[in-house]
């Protein structure tokens, strides 16, 4: 069934009018007509089944037949703060894959060794919306505006906080550290890794050093491994 | 240090002559000269440190200073048989990521619902070689020529064998099924999943149904999740 992302739908609505863009897509492009059924996701766990009652090409009217909330809610909260890669496509695929396997919040962090100092979050958000729809999820991960690492350390104080740096030192496997059912933040550094000063500052701020395995992983691979470690650790919940 | 892939080097060699292509790359492109050091990987676990003794642009001669074997050997053997995706870039990134996180053998399988019935393994192998070098690994995963699913079921008889299909039925998490230190084969289906007949045939051939989680994953994501499940399960080894 055709799925639409409708963040502005509220629970308990009896009917809903598709935006002009979605109306055009449904009625003109997909040639859908009155009586046909569609699905809506609100990005907050709501999945709605609806029927087209007025196939107006600019404001198609839907009748809500069924509403489901908390669809696919995971028992943990994962925030990945990742230094954008030089080639933005690598961040884009991380966001696509992370949305598929499960993530709640992403913050691009600008680090000392970052080759890329800015990202367009609008475009990245489109990638996440497409991945959410493609994987039939009802939750859209939150994508924050880019922050300097210092500001993030200042701001992120909740739950278990980890830094996956590549410098020497004692590190635990994140899968052994994660407490199931919790809230986690994992810092993933740029191609050139975090600087010594950044690692120090992170440890002072209470972030624990973790390893994602012995292999030297690309930034975006490391970030995805973090998502999977959290998912697998929480299965034992 | 510059890393070259030299599959034809043998252990205990005192010296080695780079191929014409690699010689040109080292001497003409990278402008390396006599006395400079390079690293060689043979794709079979061998990592060599060498010094250029003759910077000939077509047959540069190296003196082998140090040889390490079994570098980064993992305690398990993982074979992923994956239906090539419609867009081949998705297979390519799976191979890049799988090489980074660890895989031993890949077989493209042609299934009933496969939208792509052929793949050029030469190009895919280049992706794996680049990923091996980028992630400083000494093992190059084996990439088999494409096989029909039936032929693969016939041919793959060793170790633990799993099928990650999306149809209903009892399934265990692969992470719970994996016996650390073993040999595993995981079948990953095409965009349209395996057909009912293919699932039946796989079960008859002794493949066990597994799940990679609740999310609907793309083919290439599911395959990478399989690699990570195996890696994480083997940490407890």
Q: A121 and A163, same structural domain?
A: yes
pLDDT digit string, tens, across residues B46-98? 999 999 999 999 999 999 999 999 998 999 999 999 999 999 999 999 999 99
- Which residues span the domain enclosing A85? 77-233
Interstrand relation of A105-110 and B147-148 (parallel, antiparallel or unpaired): unpaired
Cβ B175–A217 below 8 Å, yes or no? no
Q: How many helices (H) and strands (E) in chain B?
A: 7, 13
Reported residue count of chain A is 237
Expressed in angstroms, the distance from the first to the final Cα of chain A is 33
Q: Pick the residue with more confidence: B42 or B72?
A: B42
B62 is written with which tokens?
A: 């190296």
pLDDT-above-90 percentage for chain B: 82
Burial class, B129, CB count within 10 angstroms (exposed 0-12 / middle 13-18 / buried 19+) = middle
- CATH of residue A42's domain is 2.40.240.20
Residue B146's pLDDT is what? 96
- Please tell me whether residues B32 and B52 are part of one structural domain: yes
Asked if B232 has any chain A CB less than 8 Å from its own CB, the reply is yes
- Looking at CA atoms only, how far is residue B203 from chain A in angstroms? 25
Checking DSSP bridges between strand A47-54 and strand A3-5, what pairing results, if any?
Answer: unpaired
CB contact (8 A) between residue A215 and residue B137: yes
pLDDT band at B29 (very low <50, low <70, confident <90, very high): very high
Which tokens is A93 given?
């695929």
Token look-up 């992302």 returns: A5
Torsion over CA: A49, A55, A58, A59 (sign): negative
My answer on whether B86 and B47 are in the same domain is no
| Boundary-marking domain end, from B42, B68, B94 | B68
Secondary-structure percent of chain B, ordered helix, strand, coil, rounded to 5: 30, 25, 40
Are A132 and A156 within one domain?
yes
Greatest C-alpha distance within chain A? 64
Query: A113 and A166 share a domain?
Result: yes
CB nearest A215 (choices: B100, B225, B232) = B100
Across the range B176-193, mean pLDDT stands at 94
- Write out the DSSP string of A86-114: SSHHHHHHHHHHHHHH--SEEEEEE-TT-
Q: A62 and A128 share a domain? A: no
Q: What percent of chain A has pLDDT over 90?
A: 81
Domain shared by A89 and A33, yes or no: no
C-alpha A220/C-alpha A188 separation (Å) is 8
Q: Using CA atoms, how far apart are residues A70 and A212, in angstroms rounded to an integer?
A: 30
Interchain pair A231, B213: CB under 8 A = yes
Residue B61: CB atoms within 10 A of its CB come to 17
> Which residue of B101, B214, B216 is in closest CB contact with A215?
B101
CA A107, CA A143: separation in Å to the nearest integer?
6
For chain A, the 3-state helix, strand and coil shares in percent, each to the nearest 5, are 30, 25, 40
Predicted confidence at residue B125, as pLDDT, reads 96
Indicate the residue among B13, B44, B68 that finishes a domain.
B68
Across the interface, which of B93, B215, B228 has its CB nearest the CB of A102? B215
Average pLDDT (A145-173) is: 93
Number of domains forming the structure of chain B: 2
SS3 A21: helix
pLDDT band at B224 (very low <50, low <70, confident <90, very high): very high
CATH number at residue A163: 3.40.1280.10
Residues B55 and B146 in one domain: no
**pLDDT at residue number B195:** 96
Q: Which of residues 163-182 of A touch B (CB under 8 A)?
A: 173, 175
Q: Last residue of a domain, which of B35, B51, B68? A: B68
Average of per-residue pLDDT across A67-96? 94
The whole-number pLDDT of residue B175 equals: 82
Report the gap between the CA of A21 and the closest CA in chain B (Å). Answer: 27
Q: How many CB pairs under 8 A join A and B?
A: 69
Tokens of B216: 């609907």
Does B48 share its domain with B121?
no
- The verdict on a CB contact (< 8 Å) between A175 and B232 is yes
Give the pLDDT confidence score for residue A237 in this predicted structure. Answer: 46
pLDDT in tens, B99-152: 999 999 999 999 999 988 889 999 999 999 999 998 889 999 999 999 999 999
Same domain membership, residue B165 and residue B126:
yes
User: How confident is residue A220, by pLDDT bands cut at 50, 70 and 90?
Assistant: very high
The answer to whether B75 contacts chain A (CB < 8 Å) is: no
d(CA B79, CA B71): 19
Q: Which of B102, B216, B225 sits opposite A228 (nearest CB)?
A: B225
Across all residues in chain B, what is the average pLDDT? 93
3-state secondary structure of B21: helix
How far apart are the CA of B18 and the nearest CA of chain A, in angstroms?
26
Task: Kindly tell me if the per-residue pLDDT of B5 is higher than 80.
Answer: yes
DSSP-based three-state secondary structure for A219: helix
In this structure, are B92 and B58 located in the same domain? no
pLDDT bin (cut points 50, 70, 90) of residue A215 is: confident
| A70 CB within 8 Å of a chain B CB | no
A195 close to B (CB below 8 A)? no
B105 has which bridge partners?
Answer: B79, B142
Residue of B nearest to A133 (CA): B216
Determine the pLDDT at residue A236: 60
**C-alpha–C-alpha distance, residues B15 and B62, integer Å:** 5
Q: Is A59 in the same domain as A88?
A: no
Q: At what angle do helices B219-235 and A88-101 cross, to 10 degrees?
A: 80
- Identify any residues that bridge with B44 across adjacent strands, giving them in sequence order: B139
Mutate to test the interface with A, among B231, B234, B235 (most CBs of A within 10 A): B231
pLDDT value of position B236: 59
Gap between the Cα atoms of B214 and A235, Å rounded:
10
């Amino acid at each position: 069934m055709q799925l639409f992302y409708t963040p502005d739908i509220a629970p308990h609505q009896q009917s809903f009018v598709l935006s002009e863009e979605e109306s055009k897509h449904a009625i003109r492009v997909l040639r859908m007509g009155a009586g046909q059924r569609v699905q809506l996701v609100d990005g907050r766990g709501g999945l709605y089944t609806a029927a087209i009652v007025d196939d107006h090409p600019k404001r198609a009217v839907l009748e809500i037949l069924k509403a489901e909330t908390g669809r696919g809610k995971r028992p943990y909260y994962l925030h990945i703060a990742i230094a954008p890669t030089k080639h933005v496509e690598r961040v884009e695929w991380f966001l696509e894959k992370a949305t598929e396997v499960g993530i709640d919040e992403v913050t691009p962090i600008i680090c000392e060794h970052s080759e890329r100092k800015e990202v367009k979050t609008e475009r990245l958000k489109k990638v996440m919306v497409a991945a959410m729809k493609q994987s039939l999820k009802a939750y859209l991960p939150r994508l924050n505006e880019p922050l300097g690492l210092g500001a993030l350390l200042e701001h992120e104080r909740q739950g278990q906080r980890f830094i996956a740096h590549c410098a020497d030192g004692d590190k635990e496997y994140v899968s052994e550290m994660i407490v199931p059912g919790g809230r986690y933040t994992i810092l993933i550094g740029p191609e050139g890794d975090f600087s010594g000063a950044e690692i120090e500052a992170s440890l002072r701020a209470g972030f624990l050093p973790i390893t994602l395995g012995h292999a030297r992983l690309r930034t975006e691979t490391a970030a995805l491994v973090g998502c999977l470690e959290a998912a697998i650790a929480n299965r034992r919940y």
